[in-house]
């Protein structure tokens, strides 16, 4: 193992650490000791038993150290307790954790996958597009290999991602007057400013503490006091809700923000959004710029100030702004040897900082830049620097320093992604040499480094200005960006041997972007897709600026006219478990649901509802259904039909509404009478049926099918608006329960239960109805015929359903009444050849196809679908036909739905429903025939199951064809 470079600093370094509380866990099977407050990465990197890096790169398996150290770096992903792709530099270390490196073949130190790096010249961007399609048919072979090496981490499908001890993720809906994204100095100032104006504020911060980059920066004592005061005021303010360790993943139109913490998924809606998201430092692009030992200044500050982790002992600092100087001073104070500060700017800018460096013996050299990093083993061993000319081109002799650490601070890129999600646009500002947001989304403002402002006091002022804008106050002028830009315009130094990485996620180099341009991908979006630059987990945060510069150079385009590629949510990877929270609609359950389940019902989903399939318990479906069918046919059965759609129509135009909605003519529907209705759509296809009961002059009660209730509701309301009908529609599905008492003993049960009403109910004609109060329960009672036995449908408010159900069962006990479920009902209705719309019809089945053509009142001036039916009737093509059929008695297995029927000349139609009838001792069903005439010949079932079974079509219902049992 190469000598350890990173080491732990003494106190007071490490503001995040609680050194009194040790933490122990394992990394790649070996123990790690850290402190409470450590991240996984800081603990591993500080432990002398482990190396200086904990991950390998995606494509070439190159060792990668911490670049950003803030949880945004794809090269710091590890597998934590079986969960892959956990950001080691953004996740707290915890006792007992099992952490493993990922994307390695062998061990982290000796990764066989690194062999790919030696073959890099043969594996340029998009090489697989040109390679693996020849010879023809070879792709499946290569695909297996490519899929094995591609991707980061492996999912364990058996793993509970949130662990048995952890709560399931949940969704929270939050609302505020102002939402502030980012709790750095700008965000804190903005949040406090808005709260002081009486606004409710939500402050979202992805770090675990407030302060942003300033919390680790080298501030003056006064600035440090101001920051502490700012944080304290924000934390104490009652109008500010602070969400830490929470990442804002997306900013949608209308100021909807989605954010996620580990166990929470937030939807935040705000009247005004202030983006104070800060920026990330940008790496230099030079040969071997990815070696462990090369750091960004901001990550060095974070590691030292927050986690007491020193990056090395012999350092060179490359800078083009004051932050590099400040980091050099911090390194020197920590005991490192700072060999030199190389300032890319030709002239001194800050004499005070240079004087402080000189006081510590740090050499400051101007107009120089590191142009190549040299390895020592798997680590940085030396850097080579050259002078820069006025256009940023290296010139003159090479100077070489032996060092184990290179710290770079040559520019920042604001985190423009979120603002771009919601319509903002990121452009390259040549004055700032940086990306900047233009065209802010509506009701939003940006502040801090998004405006190119980096000075502490100016950032505070800009946050307050954003708050003023959010509160509708006259805003003060935006502070001017720093007089000396923090970004240096020339940060790309190509090398003839390559390995100058632009994208650290995807291992894309200058050469890859040039290859894309040479291949004709002359637009940033095309280059991005060809090379995958910016498409990795860090979504271009450390890539965008340098990629623009390299692309501009390769394509000869003006940098000022280039645009950053489209930014899409999420801002960083989100666990699927978060996205899946609360996405399933709840199932609807009738008022008798508990009774059913407590009495042996096996429940089945039926659309949005759960219904009893049968009452025989698990494992006895066939026997149970048979017993239920026989009970209905021989004695009595009770069926819960509460999922029926139900509507109350009130108003003088109620009948006119029915005339517009259904094909039948309801004009002469008398009070106290019922009429069946058939609804078709604009294309003339049947979509629902109903029974309409006229309660009085202006009120109707409408019973529709279960599945189409919502669609029927919409149709009725649409027609009311279109025609200006004076009708009020009240939907009653779920509010009403329907209990069907069926069987030859139904009348006797009613007589026993309600002697006072027996006469009235007994006198009901088939399809008649009455309104009555049955032992205190107001009810509408209908005479139905769906199962082919004497049937009374009791329509009652759902609050009464359980009482009525129990009364009917008690009264029916002497008659051996039995509740029956949906499966028995399906058998019973097929025995009577009753169809169900949607089950036995499809989107092209019209009234004529199901034998209801005579019911269509074409003499009405209008009804929904009238013109379509009129046109269909002018065509010569014969109508289809829905016909009952049965199979030979030897055939007990019912064909499944959609089984094709084969006639003498080929396929003539399909089965729509079928079931074994215990009453008839054979399979019965319905079939939709495209060619009804062909049914006269020999017809067989098509396919393997029941192959060759002969189908016998009937001209009448298989059971009780004369309807004598419903008299």
Partner 1 sequence: MTTLAPPLCARTSPFVALHRPDDAAPAALVEGGLNILDLSCAPRLRTVLAPADPAVSLPVPGAALRGRHGWLVARLSAGGVIALPSPTQAPLSVQARGDEAAWPIAPGPACDPGFAHGYWLYCVGASAPALFRHGCETDMRPGCFGDLSVCQTRLFATSVLVLREDWGGRPGYHLLGCGSYAQHMEKTMQNLMARYGGAVLTPGQLAMDGAEPLAQF
- Measured from the CB atom, the residue of 123 and 735 that comes closer to partner 1 is 735
Residue 244 Cβ vs partner 1, minimum distance, rounded to whole Å? 18
User: Which chain residues interact with partner 1 by CB under 8 A?
Assistant: 170-175, 200, 267, 269, 582, 585-591, 593-594, 609, 648, 650-651, 698-699, 728, 730, 732-736, 773, 775-778, 797-804
Q: 636 near 739, Cβ under 8 Å? A: no
Q: 927 near 939, Cβ under 8 Å? A: no
Residue 256 Cβ vs partner 1, minimum distance, rounded to whole Å? 9
Structure tokens at 379: 């680590």
The residues, any chain, with a CB within 8 Å of residue 670's CB and separated by 6 or more, are: 694
The residues, any chain, with a CB within 8 Å of residue 67's CB and separated by 6 or more, are: 73, 75, 76, 283, 295, 296, 299, 504, 542
Classify residue 578 as exposed, middle or buried by CB count within 10 Å of its CB (0-12, 13-18, 19+).
Answer: buried
Residue 547 Cβ vs partner 1, minimum distance, rounded to whole Å? 38
Count helices and strands (H / E) in the chain: 25, 50
- Measured from the CB atom, the residue of 5 and 260 that comes closer to partner 1 is 260
- Measured from the CB atom, the residue of 239 and 376 that comes closer to partner 1 is 239
E-assigned strand segments in 766-899: 769-774, 777-784, 791-797, 818-820, 881-887
- Measured from the CB atom, the residue of 575 and 651 that comes closer to partner 1 is 651
* Angle between the N-to-C axes of helices 822-831 and 621-634, in degrees from 0 to 180, rounded to the nearest 10: 50
Structure tokens at 437: 């947001």
Q: What span, in angstroms and rounded, lies between the C-alpha atoms of 189 and 167? A: 34
Residue 288 Cβ vs partner 1, minimum distance, rounded to whole Å? 51
- Measured from the CB atom, the residue of 559 and 650 that comes closer to partner 1 is 650
Task: For residue 507, give the nearest of 127, 148, 194 by alpha carbon.
Answer: 127
Q: Tell me 122's DSSP state.
A: G
- Measured from the CB atom, the residue of 407 and 591 that comes closer to partner 1 is 591
Residue 585 Cβ vs partner 1, minimum distance, rounded to whole Å? 5
Q: 533 near 511, Cβ under 8 Å? A: no
Q: What span, in angstroms and rounded, lies between the C-alpha atoms of 948 and 953? A: 15
Residue 571 Cβ vs partner 1, minimum distance, rounded to whole Å? 21
Residue 417 Cβ vs partner 1, minimum distance, rounded to whole Å? 24
Residue 708 Cβ vs partner 1, minimum distance, rounded to whole Å? 16
β-strand pairing of 508-509 with 55-56: unpaired
- Measured from the CB atom, the residue of 501 and 800 that comes closer to partner 1 is 800
- Measured from the CB atom, the residue of 609 and 815 that comes closer to partner 1 is 609
Residue 390 Cβ vs partner 1, minimum distance, rounded to whole Å? 57
Residue 587 Cβ vs partner 1, minimum distance, rounded to whole Å? 8
Q: What span, in angstroms and rounded, lies between the C-alpha atoms of 296 and 48? A: 22
Residue 729 Cβ vs partner 1, minimum distance, rounded to whole Å? 10
Give the SS3 label for residue 141. helix
- Measured from the CB atom, the residue of 158 and 584 that comes closer to partner 1 is 584
Q: What are phi and psi of 551, to 5 degrees?
A: -65, -40
- Measured from the CB atom, the residue of 208 and 698 that comes closer to partner 1 is 698
Q: Where are the alpha helices (DSSP H) in 219-290?
A: 221-236
DSSP conformation letters of 550-568: HHHHHHT--GGG-BPPPP-
Residue 827 Cβ vs partner 1, minimum distance, rounded to whole Å? 26
Degrees, nearest 5: CA angle 355-356-362? 90
Q: Tell me 892's DSSP state.
A: -
- Measured from the CB atom, the residue of 585 and 759 that comes closer to partner 1 is 585
Q: What are phi and psi of 966, to 5 degrees?
A: -110, 15
- Measured from the CB atom, the residue of 155 and 604 that comes closer to partner 1 is 604
Q: 404 near 318, Cβ under 8 Å? A: no
- Measured from the CB atom, the residue of 53 and 265 that comes closer to partner 1 is 265
Residue 169 Cβ vs partner 1, minimum distance, rounded to whole Å? 12
- Measured from the CB atom, the residue of 800 and 916 that comes closer to partner 1 is 800
Element (H, E) at 515: helix 510-518
DSSP conformation letters of 87-110: EGGGSB--TT-EEEE-S-SB-SSS
- Measured from the CB atom, the residue of 160 and 696 that comes closer to partner 1 is 696
- Measured from the CB atom, the residue of 506 and 731 that comes closer to partner 1 is 731
Residue 643 Cβ vs partner 1, minimum distance, rounded to whole Å? 8
Q: Is the dihedral of CA 673, 674, 680, 681 positive or negative?
A: positive
Distance, C-alpha 716 to centroid of its chain: 34
Q: Tell me 305's DSSP state.
A: I
- Measured from the CB atom, the residue of 348 and 799 that comes closer to partner 1 is 799
Q: What span, in angstroms and rounded, lies between the C-alpha atoms of 207 and 39? A: 12
Classify residue 767 as exposed, middle or buried by CB count within 10 Å of its CB (0-12, 13-18, 19+).
Answer: middle
DSSP conformation letters of 320-376: SSHHHHHHHHHHHHTT-EEEEEEESSSS---HHHHHHHHHTT--EEESEEEEEEEEE
Q: 925 near 915, Cβ under 8 Å? A: yes
Degrees, nearest 5: CA angle 201-207-210? 55
Residue 673 Cβ vs partner 1, minimum distance, rounded to whole Å? 20
Residue 801 Cβ vs partner 1, minimum distance, rounded to whole Å? 8
Residue 241 Cβ vs partner 1, minimum distance, rounded to whole Å? 11
Residue 338 Cβ vs partner 1, minimum distance, rounded to whole Å? 51
Establish whether the linkage from the previous residue to 383 is cis, with ω within 30° of 0. no
- Measured from the CB atom, the residue of 153 and 651 that comes closer to partner 1 is 651
- Which residues is 692 bridged to in the sheet? 675, 702
């Amino acid at each position: 193992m190469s000598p350890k470079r990173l080491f732990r600093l003494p106190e007071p370094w490490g503001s995040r650490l609680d050194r009194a509380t040790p933490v122990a866990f394992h990394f790649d099977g070996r123990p790690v000791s850290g402190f409470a407050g450590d991240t996984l990465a800081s603990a591993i990197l500080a432990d002398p038993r482990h190396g200086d890096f904990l991950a390998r790169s995606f494509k070439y398996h190159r060792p990668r150290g911490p670049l950003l150290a803030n949880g945004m770096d794809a090269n710091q992903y590890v597998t934590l307790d079986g969960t892959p792709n956990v950001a080691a530099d953004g996740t707290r270390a915890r006792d007992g954790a099992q952490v493993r490196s990922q994307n390695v073949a062998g061990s982290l130190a000796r990764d066989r996958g690194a062999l790919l790096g030696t073959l890099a010249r043969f594996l340029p961007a998009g090489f697989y597009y040109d390679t693996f399609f020849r010879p023809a048919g070879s792709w499946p072979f290569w695909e297996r290999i490519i899929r094995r090496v591609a991707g980061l981490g492996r999912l364990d499908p058996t793993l509970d991602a949130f662990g048995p001890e952890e709560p399931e993720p949940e969704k929270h809906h939050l609302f505020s007057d102002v939402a502030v994204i980012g709790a750095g100095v700008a965000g804190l100032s903005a949040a406090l400013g808005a709260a002081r104006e009486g606004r409710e504020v939500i402050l979202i911060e992805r770090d675990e503490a407030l302060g942003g980059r300033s919390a680790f920066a080298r501030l003056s004592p006064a600035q440090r006091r101001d920051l502490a005061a700012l944080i304290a005021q924000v934390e104490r303010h009652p109008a500010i809700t602070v969400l830490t360790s929470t990442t804002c993943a997306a900013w949608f139109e209308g100021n909807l923000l989605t954010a996620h913490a580990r166990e929470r998924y937030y939807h935040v809606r705000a009247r005004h959004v202030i983006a104070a998201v800060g920026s990330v430092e940008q790496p230099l692009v030079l040969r071997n710029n990815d070696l462990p030992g090369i750091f960004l200044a901001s990550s060095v500050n974070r590691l030292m100030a927050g986690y007491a982790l020193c990056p090395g002992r012999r350092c060179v600092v490359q800078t083009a702004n004051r932050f590099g100087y400040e980091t050099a001073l911090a390194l020197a104070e920590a005991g490192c040897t700072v060999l030199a500060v190389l300032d890319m700017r030709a002239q001194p800018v800050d004499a005070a900082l240079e004087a402080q460096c000189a006081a510590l013996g740090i050499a400051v050299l101007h107009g120089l830049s590191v142009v190549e990093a040299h390895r020592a083993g798997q680590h940085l061993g030396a850097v080579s620097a050259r002078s820069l000319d006025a256009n940023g081109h290296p010139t003159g002799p090479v100077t070489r320093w032996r060092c184990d650490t290179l710290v770079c601070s040559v520019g920042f890129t604001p985190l423009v992604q979120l603002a771009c999600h919601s319509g903002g646009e990121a452009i390259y500002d040549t004055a700032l040499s940086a990306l900047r947001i233009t065209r802010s989304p509506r009701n939003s403002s940006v502040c801090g480094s998004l405006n190119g402002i980096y000075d502490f006091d100016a950032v505070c002022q800009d946050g307050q200005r954003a708050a003023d804008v959010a509160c509708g106050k006259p805003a003060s002028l935006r502070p001017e960006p720093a007089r000396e830009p923090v970004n240096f315009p020339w940060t790309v130094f190509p090398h003839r041997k390559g390995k100058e990485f632009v994208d650290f996620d995807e291992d894309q180099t200058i050469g890859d972007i040039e290859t894309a341009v040479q291949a004709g991908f002359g637009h940033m979006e095309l280059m991005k897709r060809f090379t995958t630059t910016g498409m990795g987990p860090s979504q271009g945060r450390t890539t965008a600026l340098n990629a623009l510069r390299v692309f501009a150079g390769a394509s000869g385009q003006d940098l000022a006219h280039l645009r950053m590629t489209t930014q899409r949510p999420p801002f960083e990877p989100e666990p699927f478990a978060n996205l899946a929270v609360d996405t399933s609609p709840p199932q609807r359950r009738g008022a008798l649901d508990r009774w059913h389940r407590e009495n042996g019902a096996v429940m089945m989903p039926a659309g949005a509802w759960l219904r009893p399939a049968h009452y025989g318990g698990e494992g006895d479906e066939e026997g149970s259904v048979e017993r239920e069918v026989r009970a209905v046919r021989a004695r009595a059965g009770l069926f819960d039909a509460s999922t029926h759609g139900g509507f109350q129509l009130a108003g003088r135009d109620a009948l006119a509404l029915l005339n517009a909605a259904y094909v039948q003519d309801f004009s002469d529907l008398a009070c106290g009478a019922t009429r069946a209705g058939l609804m078709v759509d604009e294309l003339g296809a049947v979509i629902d049926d109903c029974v309409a009961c006229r309660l009085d002059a202006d009120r109707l009660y409408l019973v529709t099918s279960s599945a189409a209730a919502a669609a029927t509701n919409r149709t009725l309301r649409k027609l009311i608006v279109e025609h200006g009908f004076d009708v009020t529609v009240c939907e009653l599905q779920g509010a009403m329960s329907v209990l069907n008492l069926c069987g030859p003993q139904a009348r006797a049960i009613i007589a026993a239960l309600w002697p006072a009403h027996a006469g009235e109910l007994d006198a009901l004609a088939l399809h008649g109805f009455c309104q009555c109060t049955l032992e205190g329960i107001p009810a509408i009672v209908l005479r139905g015929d769906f199962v082919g036995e004497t049937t009374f449908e009791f329509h009652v408010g759902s609050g009464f359903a359980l009482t009525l159900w129990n009364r009917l069962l008690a009264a029916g006990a002497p008659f051996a009444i039995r509740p029956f479920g949906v499966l028995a009902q399906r058998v019973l209705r097929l025995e009577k050849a009753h169809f169900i719309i949607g089950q036995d019809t499809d989107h092209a089945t019209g009234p004529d196809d199901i034998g209801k053509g005579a019911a269509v009142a074409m003499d009405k001036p209008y009804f929904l679908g009238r013109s379509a039916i009129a046109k269909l009737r002018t065509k010569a093509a014969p109508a289809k036909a829905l016909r009952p059929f049965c199979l030979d008695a030897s055939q007990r297995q019912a064909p499944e739905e959609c089984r094709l029927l084969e006639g003498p000349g080929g396929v003539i139609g399909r089965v729509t429903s079928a079931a074994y009838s215990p009453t008839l001792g054979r399979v019965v069903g319905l079939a939709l025939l495209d060619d009804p005439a062909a049914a006269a010949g020999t017809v067989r079932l098509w396919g393997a199951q029941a192959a060759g079974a002969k189908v016998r079509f009937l001209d009448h219902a298989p059971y009780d064809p004369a309807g004598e049992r419903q008299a």
